[in-house]
Amino acid sequence: MSTQDDVPRIALEPASTTPPYEQVRRQLAELIETAVLPEGARLPPVRQLAGDLELAAGTVARAYSELESAGLVQTRRGGGTVVAPRRALTPEELQARLAERARQYVTDTRRLGAADGDALAAVRRQQAASPA
Amino acid sequence: MAVVRLVGLVVGVAAGLVLGRTGPTGAAAPAIAGAVVIAVLVSELGRPRPERQHGSGAALEVRRVRDYARPAVAWGVVIGGLVLVAELAWLLAAGTWVPRDGVGTAWHSPGTGPASETVELNGMPFRYETLCAEPTEDARFTGRSDTGFYLVSDGDWGMELPSDLVASVCRGWVSGQGWAEGEGVVGAAFGTMATAALALLVAPLVLRATVRAPRAGADEQTRERDERWRRGSAGTVVATAGWIVFVPLAVWNIALLLVEDPASFTGPAEYVRLAMLALLAAAAVIGASAHAVALTRAPDR
């Protein structure tokens, strides 16, 4: 059994206009793509996760189904749903992911009131401080 | 709450023993099981789940039954149940059911027919006829009775059945009670098998539902309370199933031991059989005691 600290969590935003299944899908995809959920990690059974999130089982099942279509998870009969082996992104996919994260970063820094130049400088400093 | 469970255990065993002696014997094992299940349900009402905090999210954990119920204990219950069912199935398979008011299953046996005679078997009138016109070593006998009954070899009749153990058990334990339909050793065996099988089927479902029940909340304190509740409930389910399996297993094997007569033993195989029965009875008594302790221990809140 896992302890509270080492288990990734997801939570829903009740006020969000994003449908619950998409919130679940997006958070799980993020955890998988950032390797917080490593290859082979088992996801909770649909009914268990749905019960914990107070959602209908079909909502979580839809999120799992979309993750499977995207190649992020695999569902094995009797073996549950596990994180699929990571594959290299195509250049187009990589550009799309970078654009998505950049858009989010720009939104966040502008909300903070930071100038674009300062935000970019922060990225450069972070890149310099973090080994590749 | 431990007192409620203790009362359930005692009442169940008392009712089971009374029913086992006076009949209907088929209700003995269900009485033992029913009393403990009711007691556990009542006691669980006094041990409510931690209150749920809504909208607290979910940990991406896989809650497995083996994380909450000790596998060795759970497998012990499963093995005990399978041994019980197999032992009683073998006991029943060794006999012949003769239906009410009719010709029963024929069996092959050395005989000296043609003949027709009414004898008393375990307190019931029993008429047999040879079906062959000429004396033969393989004549067929057919039982007739006013009521249905179950017949196993008792040696005197020379019927071909696989074990003297079966004969001695049935002769000894139901002697004087007759073989009326649904009564005696057959009813007790069917009732026990059905109860044990039901426990083995239902307990895993309840365990799974308990383990996968939604978390009460995400904060550390609530999670700890939730874990204690979940662990306590899973332990209770296993202990309840263990009690339902091991008490009848102990009673049956002690009964089998009591009808053995070492003075009449003619070979080492009979002593081996006696030792195996004693071993099974002792293991079942230990198992039943351990599960009784688990059930009557004050559950964590």
Q: pLDDT tens, A115-126?
A: 999 999 999 999
CB contact under 8 A, B61 and A31: no
CB contact under 8 A, A1 and B67: yes
Q: Which of B62, B67, B218 sits opposite A44 (nearest CB)?
A: B62
Q: Which of A7, A51, A54 sits opposite B60 (nearest CB)?
A: A7
**ipTM confidence score:** 0.71
Provide the shortest C-alpha distance from residue B238 to chain A (in Å).
Answer: 19
**Measured distance between the N- and C-terminal CA atoms of chain B, rounded to whole angstroms:** 11
Contacts of B214 in chain A (CB under 8 A): 48, 51-52, 54
CB contact under 8 A, A45 and B212: yes
Q: Please give the structure tokens belonging to residue B221.
A: 């304190």
A27 or B151, which is more confident: A27
User: CA–CA separation, A60 vs A65, rounded Å?
Assistant: 8
A110 or B159, which is more confident: A110
CB contact under 8 A, A9 and B218: yes
**Cis amide prior to B162 (ω within 30 degrees):** no
Mapped onto helix, strand or coil, the DSSP state of residue B259 is: coil
Give CA separation, B279 vs B38, B99, B211, in Å: 31, 36, 34
What's the pLDDT at B157? 35
**Stretch (H or E) spanning B92:** helix B71-93
Cβ within 8 Å of residue B291, ≥6 positions away = B77, B238, B239, B240, B242, B243, B246
- DSSP β-bridge partners for residue B108: B140
Identify residue B268 by its one-letter amino acid code.
Answer: P
Please give the model's pTM, rounded to 2 decimal places.
0.71
What's the pLDDT at B271? 87
What's the pLDDT at B150? 52
Cβ within 8 Å of residue B158, ≥6 positions away = B109, B110, B111
Average pLDDT value for chain A? 89
CB contact under 8 A, B58 and A11: yes
Contacts of B223 in chain A (CB under 8 A): 4
Name the residue of chain B whose CA is nearest to A11's CA. Answer: B57
Other C-beta atoms within 10 Å of B110: how many?
12
What's the pLDDT at B38? 93
Angle at B236 between CA B235 and CA B242, to 5 degrees: 90
The alpha carbon dihedral of B201, B202, B205, B211 has a sign of: negative
CB contact under 8 A, A8 and B54: no
Task: Tell me the pLDDT band of A131, cut-offs 50, 70 and 90.
Answer: confident
Q: Which of A9, A11, A42 sits opposite B62 (nearest CB)?
A: A42
CB contact under 8 A, B57 and A53: yes
- Interface test with chain A among B49, B54, B61, B68, by most A beta carbons within 10 Å: B61
- DSSP β-bridge partners for residue B128: B117, B143
Decide the pairing of beta strands B149-151 and B96-98.
antiparallel
Q: Which of B55, B57, B68 sits opposite A9 (nearest CB)?
A: B57
Cβ within 8 Å of residue A118, ≥6 positions away = A109
Q: Can you list the residues of chain B whose pLDDT is less than 50?
A: 100-113, 122, 132-149, 152-183, 301
pLDDT of residue A97 exceeding 70, the answer is yes
Name the residue of chain B whose CA is nearest to A28's CA. Answer: B60
CB contact under 8 A, A54 and B54: yes
What phi-psi label fits residue B32: left (phi over 0), alpha (psi between -120 and 50 degrees) or beta? alpha
Contacts of A11 in chain B (CB under 8 A): 55-58
User: CA–CA separation, B37 vs B12, rounded Å?
Assistant: 10
Measure CA A46 to chain center.
17
Mean pLDDT, rounded, for A36-56: 92
Q: Which of A12, A43, A52 sits opposite B215 (nearest CB)?
A: A52
Cβ within 8 Å of residue B53, ≥6 positions away = B216, B217, B218, B219, B222
Show which residues on chain A lie within 8 Å of chain B, measured between beta carbons: 1-2, 4, 7-12, 14, 28, 31, 37, 42-45, 47-49, 51-54, 80
Mapped onto helix, strand or coil, the DSSP state of residue B265 is: coil
User: CA–CA separation, A107 vs A129, rounded Å?
Assistant: 23
Contacts of A59 in chain B (CB under 8 A): none
CB contact under 8 A, A8 and B59: yes
Contacts of A31 in chain B (CB under 8 A): 60
